[in-house]
A and B are shown apart, each in its own frame.
Chain A
């Protein structure tokens, strides 16, 4: 025979349908959303993983100042280090040979001339010629006549040969000695003495040009487009719509950028000084996010674009070609650690080979540090862990609500339980009985939630990712992780939380159930209360009596307030950053030059009235993370720090002229992010060399826009071993137009700072507003459930006071007011806790990223984050009051036992 108690479950569901409906809807939405996110996320990651293979993603790339010779490419491909010592010796000898040859020639010349002159004078004296003019004329004539033969004769002499050999030998020796003396420094600089094993690679041309893009053809550039050739053998693109370009007037651009700026297939856009027709919308495998530079805090799918044109189309453009080369390892590294080793070894080969073959490296980036290909997958991965935790917290809250409901049911059904236990029902049977409801409800929620997760919400999640990143196409895949995290773990959580509470509750003897003696408190006397009015004391008693319910309520409210701070604070922080960004930049334009001299060797100048030269270097500040394999090389693991050299009397940055050597000022963003203080010593590392620089912090420059260190120009040039008068670019208040574009490496404007916020606002704006409303409903639902429990628990007492003659209004004030006070108090405390916690969470979040901006909440948002919750509570209070009015008088009489 089946246990007849099981029949209670569907009836209880039907009787209390509104409560269970709230819980089930809550679970379905939550589990559905999270399951959808997991399925979407797994499908997306699978698509990205596949793309890495099929679209031949690079293992890394490097950029050279000029096009590499076939010899250099072959050497780099071998992965072997060049013989730097020999290179320096040969280079030194070449230079020394030139010097020796010049000196020898000069000495020969003067010796021959002297000899001829001496011969002429001796002859003149013999002939009695004393006229000096005549003698000089004779000398000139003799030189004219005999110089070449005399030189030939002297060169052939033994004396000359001996002197020459000695001079060359001495010079060569001096060169070798000099290289030897400098060798330790050179070896350390390039890590030549470290362990090395060659990493053979295949090198591919992946040249690009950064052109201006005018997508609305209004004549004003709207952003930058990085143009690649369509015949590339690596870093291919997947086409979400359209096709690859086939003529020199066709172009395919990034799908995400096109969607952001409203460009469609068939539209015409201007790139550089040419017009193209958009024939394809693509996603490049190495540009899943549109990071223009690897050190960008955030990608910018509005102001930056990547595009594909035919080789002819590429050649027809005019801006500087970036000689970027992609490489793929001949043998794939096994893991992250090996990836880092490969990258480090390859860098040594690259550095030495380019050095010895007359080229220079402008950039080097192993793929595993590449933000544009790794930001999206790692962000997608991060998404789920955060939502997973959110899910568990909410399930935990629901489980506690269930546990309290069941605990109250057990209290109410004490006599029945006592009778059942006295009749022979075991504790186990009763535990199973009371456990069945939460588990069944969770199962229903999980089943419906998963159904929605694989259908509606999966599409929503994938669309959300498409809104943020330039991702390839994807199809839903089965996610066992989703099942575990959205069904198994919630069930386990629900099971254990309820099991613990129910077992503890059913521990009492049958007799105590029969006697309704369920209190575990050893307290024998009632708690003494202050001499307030009767109603005040009554309320206080209600408060104490419902303490467990209020504890869950307090936890729930604090949790919701934290979420509210997130929902309001995140867009506020972004808006705030965007608003103050233009005030933050100390120079509206920063022109970074290729070099301070042009190809003719003239120092680059400008007539711009506000232009001021500055020095610029990028160094790395190690973040305090020991788990990162990235540290030490490239960006990503370390914070990128811009070091500025500022001229005396600068109109852009106010820097004390008398800063001692090795001292500088840090930007306020730098100071805040890493908690720096005056007097602190910071050690910055060079990005591609094994060199470090120590600086002492002397104060701050009010600059929130970036992580920066400011030095006096002389100090800057001294530290970075620059020549006197050398500089990296110009600060300017207006656009500079008189410098050749080929000389300009980059222009940084206020917009480059605000692009971070613009992209984030676009990516998360929709979801954050949705989040606010969902949280308000969640807050109301949570308070509804808890307030319902409190009223239900006191039904009999409420009925009794009704019998005694209390009016509904008075009863409402007795039972609703304590809850209201608790909710208001918790909202305040919750807000403060949530706000402080968000500041901390935000800082930790920022430490994981490059750059910095602080958490910010408007006063109106602070007010609204509490008002939303209180509004939710007000609605619940009305329902509560109606519920109190509906409690019949006979409830108390029926429970007289």
Chain B
């Protein structure tokens, strides 16, 4: 495991100005190793989604930097950032944001198209249990199935980092566990680094690395000695 694959140094970010100014990230420091399953845990307003967006190159910090594999994001222009996201990142959001008039397989191909070395779409469909639904349109699927497709779209790129922003936020208990198990599988099977933002404390037990955030700073930065499989998590 490469210890310093993702490095966050003195990251600061605020919104608004004057009296309405709100510091969301107030000097954040940590590193994530390559292939790690890292959970960013924190209550609402703790800055975890903002942090994820900055790591993902879709938001910029006021100061500090993010470095991935030695490349600092702050040195990249918009085109390079797009290329960075294209080559290295996969995104899974709380809402699935699937393209309504593409079927399941095609929605996954949307991700595959971006990658120079994509995974086999059929294999991903099988892994995600979507083979029998591959010709269905998103509106013919349940929430859980749609989230599987969105994971498939992110994973098929074979990304270095899989960014998950509250991926189970809109799902029920049982489906949530299934989705978490899938992300766990992908992490194990394809070796992607996973950074998952959640406010669900229980999820920290399946991670290699747990970073607890509160009021824009890292409160705890722990590594689990033993992990509990997602299927055994309870909340």
Q: Which residues of A contact B (CB under 8 A)?
A: 1-5, 7-8, 11-12, 15, 413, 415-416, 418-427, 509-511, 514, 894, 897
Chain B hits for A12, CB < 8 A:
101
CA gap between A419 and B111 in the complex, in Å: 10
CA gap between A426 and B95 in the complex, in Å: 21
**Beta-carbon contact of B101 and A422 below 8 Å:** no
Known: A423-B89, A424-B89. A11 touches B101 (CB 8 A): yes
B82, B90, B97, B118: residue with the most chain A Cβ atoms closer than 10 Å: B97
- Can you report 30 A-B residue pairs in the complex whose CB atoms are below 8 A from each other? A1-B112, A1-B113, A1-B118, A4-B110, A5-B110, A8-B102, A11-B101, A12-B101, A415-B95, A415-B97, A416-B98, A416-B99, A419-B93, A420-B110, A421-B58, A422-B58, A422-B89, A423-B85, A423-B86, A423-B90, A423-B110, A424-B82, A424-B85, A424-B86, A424-B89, A424-B114, A426-B79, A426-B82, A426-B86, A510-B58
List B33-61 residues whose CB lies under 8 Å from chain A. 53, 56, 58-59
Chain B hits for A415, CB < 8 A:
93, 95, 97
In the complex, which range does the number of interface residues on chain B fall in?
Answer: 35 or more
Known: A422-B91, A424-B114. A4 touches B86 (CB 8 A): no
* Given A423-B111, A897-B94: 4 more A-B contacts, CB < 8 Å: A1-B109, A418-B97, A423-B153, A424-B82
Known: A4-B109, A511-B53. A425 touches B99 (CB 8 A): no
Q: How far is the CB of A892 from chain B (nearest CB, A)?
A: 15
Chain B hits for A423, CB < 8 A:
85-86, 89-91, 110-111, 114, 153-154, 157
Q: Which of A15, A426, A511, A897 contacts B101 (CB 8 A)?
A: A15
CA gap between A214 and B172 in the complex, in Å: 96
Q: How far is the CB of A463 from chain B (nearest CB, A)?
A: 45
CB nearest neighbor in A for B95: A897
**Beta-carbon contact of A419 and B106 below 8 Å:** no
CA gap between A511 and B93 in the complex, in Å: 12
B87 at the interface (CB under 8 A from A): yes
Interface code B166-204, partner A: CB below 8 Å = 1, 0 otherwise?
A: 000000000000000000000000000000000000000
CB nearest neighbor in A for B50: A511
Q: How far is the CB of A20 from chain B (nearest CB, A)?
A: 14
B83 at the interface (CB under 8 A from A): yes
A1, A4, A415, A894: residue with the most chain B Cβ atoms closer than 10 Å: A4
CA gap between A5 and B98 in the complex, in Å: 12
CA gap between A423 and B97 in the complex, in Å: 12
**Beta-carbon contact of A4 and B85 below 8 Å:** no
CB nearest neighbor in A for B54: A511
Interface code B201-212, partner A: CB below 8 Å = 1, 0 otherwise?
A: 000000000000
Chain A hits for B84, CB < 8 A:
424
Q: How far is the CB of A890 from chain B (nearest CB, A)?
A: 10
Chain B hits for A426, CB < 8 A:
79, 82, 86
Per DSSP, chain A at the interface is helix
Q: How far is the CB of A425 from chain B (nearest CB, A)?
A: 7
Known: A12-B101, A415-B97, A418-B97. A424 touches B53 (CB 8 A): no
CA gap between A562 and B94 in the complex, in Å: 52
CA gap between A7 and B139 in the complex, in Å: 17
B79, B83, B102, B139: residue with the most chain A Cβ atoms closer than 10 Å: B102
**Beta-carbon contact of A424 and B83 below 8 Å:** yes
Q: How far is the CB of B15 from chain A (nearest CB, A)?
A: 12
CB nearest neighbor in B for A414: B97
**Beta-carbon contact of A424 and B93 below 8 Å:** no
**Beta-carbon contact of A7 and B97 below 8 Å:** no
CA gap between A630 and B56 in the complex, in Å: 73
CA gap between A2 and B96 in the complex, in Å: 23
Q: How far is the CB of B208 from chain A (nearest CB, A)?
A: 24
**Beta-carbon contact of A8 and B113 below 8 Å:** no
CA gap between A4 and B93 in the complex, in Å: 21
Q: How far is the CB of A96 from chain B (nearest CB, A)?
A: 100
CA gap between A426 and B153 in the complex, in Å: 16
Chain A hits for B94, CB < 8 A:
897
CA gap between A90 and B93 in the complex, in Å: 110
Closest 5 CB pairs of A and B: A424-B86, A419-B97, A424-B85, A897-B95, A4-B109
Chain B hits for A7, CB < 8 A:
102, 106
Q: How far is the CB of B168 from chain A (nearest CB, A)?
A: 15
Chain A hits for B59, CB < 8 A:
509, 511
Chain B hits for A511, CB < 8 A:
53, 58-59
CB nearest neighbor in A for B139: A894
Known: A4-B110, A4-B113. A422 touches B99 (CB 8 A): no
B94, B99, B102: residue with the most chain A Cβ atoms closer than 10 Å: B99
Chain A hits for B139, CB < 8 A:
894
CB nearest neighbor in A for B83: A424
Interface code B135-162, partner A: CB below 8 Å = 1, 0 otherwise?
A: 0000100000000001001100100000
Interface code B100-139, partner A: CB below 8 Å = 1, 0 otherwise?
A: 0110001001111110001000000000000000000001
List B65-99 residues whose CB lies under 8 Å from chain A. 79, 82-87, 89-91, 93-95, 97-99
Q: Which of A3, A8, A422, A897 contacts B56 (CB 8 A)?
A: A422
CA gap between A425 and B93 in the complex, in Å: 16
**Beta-carbon contact of A4 and B98 below 8 Å:** no
B87, B89, B91: residue with the most chain A Cβ atoms closer than 10 Å: B91
Chain B hits for A894, CB < 8 A:
139
CA gap between A209 and B102 in the complex, in Å: 79
CB nearest neighbor in B for A512: B58
**Beta-carbon contact of B110 and A514 below 8 Å:** no
CA gap between A648 and B118 in the complex, in Å: 103
**Beta-carbon contact of B110 and A422 below 8 Å:** no
**Beta-carbon contact of B58 and A4 below 8 Å:** no
Q: How far is the CB of B192 from chain A (nearest CB, A)?
A: 14
CA gap between A3 and B115 in the complex, in Å: 12
Q: How far is the CB of A89 from chain B (nearest CB, A)?
A: 92
CB nearest neighbor in A for B79: A426
CA gap between A421 and B84 in the complex, in Å: 11
CA gap between A192 and B150 in the complex, in Å: 93
CA gap between A426 and B82 in the complex, in Å: 6
**Beta-carbon contact of A8 and B101 below 8 Å:** yes
CB nearest neighbor in A for B150: A419
Q: How far is the CB of B198 from chain A (nearest CB, A)?
A: 17
Chain B hits for A8, CB < 8 A:
99, 101-102
Chain A hits for B153, CB < 8 A:
423
Chain B hits for A510, CB < 8 A:
58
CA gap between A216 and B61 in the complex, in Å: 94
